[in-house]
Amino acid sequence: MRKEQTVPSFDGMELVVTVDSPEVCRAVVVFVHGLCEHQGRYDYITDKFTARDFKVYRFDHRGHGKSSGDRYFYTNKDEIIDDTNFIIELAKGENPELPVYVIGHSMGGFAAAAFGTKYPDVVDGIILSGGLTRDNTGLIINVDMELAPKTEFPNELGDGVCSDPAVVEAYGKDPLNGKFFTAGLCQSIAEGLRWLMDNKTFSYPVLLLHGEKDALVSPKDTMDFFADIPSKDKQMKIYGNACHEIFNEYIRDEVIEDALAWIEYRLG
């Protein structure tokens, strides 16, 4: 069963949340999407997870998709971190007896990693897909911090998201995908990345997944994050010849199965 609802976040910002509930639920998974996209692009992986009895929560970041807020804009790093925490706490509150896992992609990987650093001992494990944790490509962190926050940049990420031309075409035509992003978003994420690098305390069980050919978020981000964090239960897998959106790549079923197997092993 799929249910969409609007909820007020920690500061009252209205976020659109979708919950997919199988008849039998063994655990909860919260998906956190990336820059200039929306939760609806995660229907395929959601269906794979619900088929294995996982209850899935998805939400549109503020300023993204159907959620409220200035488009593709943040005022500070804590807005994205605390929105993510709010949805996770919502999922925990509605499912108090179930384990909760978080899967974050790209900018959502930053959100999940930063959540895990700011809020220890809240969930049972975290998976990052092409996670923006260091910005070795300079996509975000090189933006001038003195620019007016509402300055807009065209979204030219499309060709780099996936090696499948059909995915790239659909990305460009999707009206809920952003055609621009703002300096304020970049400045807020850059602030968060510097904070993340200064606070290497992430200790959750974690699975780090990345495409070898990712030109948007360097696989070195994942390698550096893996090396830096003190987690005692950490695994990393780099997929050869795969681009940024590994959940949409030609190997997507392998990637999804790796994520499922990692969680199921921990469920026992």
Return d(Cα 5, Cα 28) in angstroms, integer.
Answer: 17
SS3 54: strand
Please give the Cα distance from 235 to 215 (Å, whole number): 22
The one-character DSSP state at 8 is E
Across residues 172-198, what is the average pLDDT? 97
Asked if the model's pLDDT at residue 159 lies above 90, the reply is: no
Tell me the per-residue pLDDT of 99-127, one tens digit each, with 9 for 90 and over.
999 999 999 999 999 999 999 999 999 99
At 23-72, the pLDDT tens digits run 999 999 999 999 999 999 999 999 999 999 999 999 999 999 999 999 99
For the segment 144-172, the average pLDDT, to the nearest whole number, is 93
Q: Is the pLDDT of residue 169 over 90?
A: yes
Per-residue pLDDT tens for 205-254? 999 999 999 999 999 999 999 999 999 999 999 999 999 999 999 999 99
The mean pLDDT of the chain is 98
CB atoms within 10 A of CB 32: 30
More confident residue, 156 or 117: 117
Instruction: Find out whether 136 and 210 touch, Cβ atoms under 8 Å.
Output: no
Cβ partners under 8 Å of residue 175, min gap 6 = none
Give just the sign of the alpha carbon dihedral 40, 194, 153, 238: negative
**For the chain, percent of residues with pLDDT exceeding 70:** 100
User: Distance between CA 149 and CA 163 in Å, rounded?
Assistant: 32
Q: Work out the pLDDT band at 157, boundaries 50, 70, 90.
A: confident
- Show the domains of the chain with their CATH numbers: 2-267 (3.40.50.1820)
